[in-house]
Amino acid sequence: MKMIKMMVMLAAFAMAAPISAEAPEDDAASADPPPAAPATVEEIASGVCAGCHNADGNSVIPMNPILAGQHAEYITKQLMDFKATGNEPPKRNSPVMSAMVATLSQEDMKALGAYYAKQKATPSSIAADEKLVEAGKVLYHGGNLGDEIPACASCHGPTGAGIPPHYPAIAGQHAEYTMMQLELFNKAERGGDDNNVMQKVLTRMNPLEKRAVSAYISTMR
Ligand code: HEC
Ligand code: HEC
């Protein structure tokens, strides 16, 4: 009996010890406020990022990408591409996103990738023109042999789910955002695509084909 009482006391002491060790001392040192804890990834996502991408990464603004369900490594890579390194300008030139990543550490970018990857994606619900969607569907799955345009499906998958870590998921993305990215790749204004695969694909596509495929992608589920 005595032994058990002793053990309970010891256990209680062991639990209390770390807390009392951190308790502020009753002297002048405690006048300084404790340093703020670093923001958690949830706080970052539901704070500064939420205004444009929503807290769960399901942006409803057609210019801003849906991030929910995207592969973690891809999101992390894109965040790093928005960041200038040394004297090098960022590979992806977006004044908005470059300002956003300026204060993020490598660990934050990794954690944000994991955070958005595990959110359930809500695909774009913006209505798309049916004829455009039909034309885009043919191009997405079969490419265009005459113009040597490869099928998007060969790298982004038949359902648009992509192949991690290099080929992003694109199904259900807002057409306006996709179109903007296709233009940026085409004009070589979006870097970070190491073998320039997207640029090679796009130099062979006319504006109508780009619009059609963007419309189709927004309807993929
Ligand atoms: C003021 C609006 C705004 C805010 C705030 C914002 N973003 Fe963005 N984000 C954008 C826009 C616009 C783009 C597309 C940029 C481009 O390609 O020109 C983008 C692109 C991205 C991409 C690339 C996605 C892809 O599919 O390639 C990621 C990842 C991203 N944002 C994450 C974040 C994170 C994380 C935060 C918070 C730290 C954040 N964004 C805050 C507007 C915003
Ligand atoms: C040979 C492989 C390949 C083919 C074919 C291909 N892509 Fe890509 N695509 C890529 C790679 C790799 C990236 C990522 C580049 C990076 O890391 O920034 C990408 C990125 C993208 C993105 C940017 C996604 C985002 O949110 O950042 C879009 C949109 C896209 N591709 C659309 C298409 C479309 C439409 C087609 C067909 C016309 C196509 N791709 C064909 C390899 C390919």
* pLDDT for the residue numbered 113: 98
**3-state DSSP call for residue 29?**
helix
36 pLDDT band (50/70/90 cuts)?
confident
Distance CA(132)–CA(162), nearest Å, equals 22
- Phi, psi (5° rounding) for residue 40? -80, 165
Distance (Å) from CA 13 to ligand 2 centroid: 58
The DSSP output letter for 42 is H
Q: Which atom of ligand 2 is nearest to the CA of 140?
A: 37
32 pLDDT band (50/70/90 cuts)?
confident
pLDDT at 167 exceeding the cut of 70: yes
pLDDT at 217 exceeding the cut of 70: yes
What Cα–Cα distance (Å) separates residue 42 from each residue in 24, 59, 113, 116? 28, 16, 12, 10
- Please give the single-letter amino acid code of residue 36: A
* pLDDT for the residue numbered 17: 45
Residue-range domains of the chain with CATH? 41-117 (1.10.760.10), 130-219 (1.10.760.10)
The helix or strand, by DSSP H or E, that contains position 16, with its residue range, turns out to be helix 2-22
Average pLDDT over residues 135-139: 97
The DSSP output letter for 193 is -
Instruction: Please provide the DSSP assignment of 66-130 as one string.
Output: P-TT--HHHHHHHHHHTS-BTTBPPSB--HHHHHHHTT--HHHHHHHHHHHHTSPP----S---H
pLDDT at 183 exceeding the cut of 70: yes
Lowest mean pLDDT among 28-32, 48-52, 132-136: 28-32
Average pLDDT over residues 186-203: 92
Length reported for the chain:
221
Distance (Å) from CA 130 to ligand 1 centroid: 29
Residues flanking ligand 1, CB < 6 Å: 44, 48-49, 51-53, 63-65, 67, 75, 78-79, 94, 96-97, 100, 112
Whole-model pTM: value is 0.88
| More confident position, 10 or 181 | 181
